[in-house]
Amino acid sequence: MAVLLDGRALGQGIVEGLAPRVAALPRPPGLAVVLVGADPASVIYVRLKARMARTLGLVHRQVDLPQTASEAEVLATVDALNADPAIDGILVQLPLPAQIRREPVLDRVDPAKDVDGFHPENAGLLAQGRPRFVPCTPRGILALFDHHRVPLSGRRAVVVGRSPIVGRPVAALLDQRNATVTVCHTRTADLEAEVRRAAVLVVAVGRPGVVPGAWVRPGAAVVDAGTNRLSDGRVVGDIAPDPALEAAGWLTPVPGGVGPMTIAMLMTSTVESAERRLA
């Protein structure tokens, strides 16, 4: 039976540990979230982030823009937050509506306030092994591994998905922990063979059941970073449920694994940003 990598419990502990650091600052850290439109999943995520920020004593500012907002309007909103000295972290909630290009918006965020770690400058620093901000989901995954003492050095790690939000940065982090990393994607010739070899497996595609549980190697450390809401309202991951999953050594539940850790890491990055800016 796999050891569950419980993100709820660990995330709560991490946030509680931030409280003395927040209290020691001359003012509360400020986190701004830009939400364009009303994507149901995004609305839920933003609400959870706001609740956690306020619980921790952060100043939380949410800027809601309509689904029809132009790219210029979003850029102007980001510019205003960049210039606001009370804001230490800026998060643009993804996905954005079709008329707004993601890259120009994320590139506009001040790298010193980019608590999501998506700006090219921060991605480059991460690739060089000297990160300022690490994307929150990959950082949370590594925190789960560390807390449960999952061995990484020298092990074969497979990351399914190569997005700049999860797949690529988590591959970089695993490489920096001396794992031997393979990144798989839609053009991978034999995905099953790659997954079956993985002692450490991270699946971050955003498609339910893209990896059958029967492919998982016995004893592997398995992270399912997918959060997919089905038509019947159920939330499932990217790995298809299968009795064979019980053979894994470690396993994240969905929900309750990666999601709470993402929010905890966002709070951590915001506090770290405030500490740097107020030093």
Active-site residue (options: 6, 49, 88, 113): 49
What is the DSSP code (8-state) at residue 221? E
Burial profile 67-89: b = 16 or more Cβ within 10 angstroms, e = fewer: eebebeebeebbeebbeeeebbb
**How far is the C-alpha of 85 from the C-alpha of 120, rounded, in Å?**
22
Catalytic residue among 88, 93, 113, 114: 93
Pairing assessment for the beta strands 250-251 and 3-4 based on DSSP bridges: parallel
Give the whole-angstrom CA distance, residue 104 versus residue 97.
13
Catalytic, out of 6, 114, 116, 238: 116
Whether 49 is catalytic is yes
Which residues, in sequence order, are bridge partners of residue 184?
160
Q: How far is CA 174 from CA 57, 156, 167, in A?
A: 33, 10, 11
Which residues have a catalytic role annotated? 49, 93, 116
